[in-house]
Amino acid sequence: MAAQLGGQPIIILREGTERTRGKEARSNNIMAAKAIAAAVRTTLGPKGMDKMLVGGSVTITNDGVTILKEMDIEHPAAKMLVEVAKTQDDEVGDGTTTVAVLAGELLEQAEELLEQDVHPTNICTGYRMAAEKAVELLKDITHTITEDDENALLNIAETAMTGKGVEGSREKLAHIVVSAIRSIVDEEDGKKAVDINNIKIEKKVGKSLDDSELINGIVIGKDRAQANMPNRVKNAKIAIITRPIEFSKMELEADIKISTPGELTEYLDREEQIVKDIVDRIEAAGANVVLCQLGIEDIAQYFFAKANILAVERVEKKDIEKLARATGANLITSVDDFDASDIGSAGLVEIRGHSEDKLLYITECSNPRAVSILIRGGTEHVLDSTERALEDALRVVGVAIEDEKLVAGAGSPEIELALRLNEYASTLSGREQLAVTKFAAAMEVIPRTLAENAGLDPINMIAELKNQHEGGNKDGGLNVFEGKVENMWEKGVIEPLRVKTQAISSATEAAIMILRIDDVLAATGGSEGAGCGPGGAPCGGMGGMGGMPPGMMM
């Protein structure tokens, strides 16, 4: 790129930089974002389809955020939708597909206004006004519950797991989820708080989903390090060590001269003594159970067994953190500097199961809010899918208890918002009115997609939904199994209010951010070994097919 000054060109950008401006830049970004929305749209709802993601491993899922995380996306505008889905997952755990589909539809509706020469600033202003009004309108269709309303909590959990491959055991899993969440509810400054980090999910291949269970304590898929160790310890005193238990090898170069068999024996005895001293120090602190994040040397295992201490090696870091929280133990990073105050406690530690099915159970923990969900299933794919469904259900039940506010599901809130936002638009003047009207139209994408994915006629279903809502049935939603509109609150298809408010806010912010971009600079050349553009911008990707990354031509 060059500018002219008195007939003399001035180089501003280095050679090879590609620049896309104005309508073309905006169109390319919108196209990329819409492609991402289209990729996950068919997974929405109880009759949504699954995606098979093939990379280093095979993942089969219809979870929006999992699909977007696994996809190798290059286009920066498309990445914004991935970030929006991640935020939705972090905040509420569900609605990740909804937020991506809604953002894509907002951009598609905005595209129609851009073609009518409505300025992007006016669209953005109208979208912000509509989003604020939508959050306000949702309060009119909100239902209030309490932590004691078990039936509502079960319905929330079942709704979150619907369409995620666990329908056959959904009722039992919902009871497990609700029991787990209710057991960890805390109160902070008069408000309920749920920290799902207190819940450990352990997967074990074998048996069926109906054999899954909730354990008051921590379960990890490990066996004792040596068969001679005890497999059951009552009144356990637990040392959690994050370094290997072994003789420390010399890191500096050194020569050890051994000239006689006696000197060799003395050296080996000294090495053994150092390991024994470590074990003696752990025993002296009062520990009778040792959980080590790394390895335990064979000779150390021998001394632990001799001291009647149950030792487990190579416990995963995420499990170590949960174990520390459950038992009240401090993580021991140096075996030379710790004491009895670093030792945790539990009423019972035992190994259960046989052969390859052994599990370590740590129950009656000092922290009563430590619970585990043991998932059983026939294959790894079933376990992974169930884990994702449970994580979503745990988050939404937790959010429901924290906020105590729910709305009906199945497209009911979106249709109500579409109708009320159209009424709101009629009170406005100026071009923002057009943007609010388009925002209202975009809200219909959720019930329309639910109908399409269920093989129903979307036009008829939307018309019937609007008719029911205009008639006063504010909880009317789409029953995709029977192909008719019913009161979803009475049917038990409900969701936390925060799922909807977060999705609307995040989708609107993403759409506005993309609409405000009118200039894209991408360096296609550069020094050897460097990326194709500043900050790793995609190579030559802004022209042609809308800057679409390979494999995203849809």
- For the annotated catalytic residues, the residue numbers are 63, 96-97, 392
d(Cα 106, Cα 104) in Å, to the nearest integer?
A: 6
* Helices 150-161, 380-403: inter-axial angle, 10-degree rounding: 140
Question: What does each C-alpha distance from 339 to 90, 242, 296, 334 come to in angstroms?
Answer: 38, 15, 20, 11
Q: For CA atoms 339, 342, 344, 349, give the dihedral sign.
A: negative
Phi-psi region of 171 (alpha: psi -120 to 50; beta: other; left: phi over 0): alpha
CB 48 within 8 A of CB 451: no
Helices (H), 207-363: 261-284, 298-306, 317-327
Q: How many CB atoms lie within 10 A of CB 314?
A: 12
Structure tokens at 24: 């073309």
Strand partners, 188: 191
Continuous segment of H or E residues that includes residue 102: helix 96-115
Q: How many CB atoms lie within 10 A of CB 258?
A: 12
3-state SS class at 437: helix
> Could you please report the per-residue DSSP string of 317-362?
HHHHHHHHHHHTPPEES-TTS--GGG-EEEEEEEEESSGGG-EEEE
The torsion angles phi and psi of 76, rounded to 5 degrees, stand at -60, -35
**Torsion angle of the four alpha carbons 285, 290, 295, 300, in this order, in degrees rounded to the nearest 10:** 60
CB 329 within 8 A of CB 342: yes
Continuous segment of H or E residues that includes residue 118: none
Phi-psi region of 369 (alpha: psi -120 to 50; beta: other; left: phi over 0): alpha
CB 218 within 8 A of CB 374: no
Residue indicated by tokens 């609605």: 95
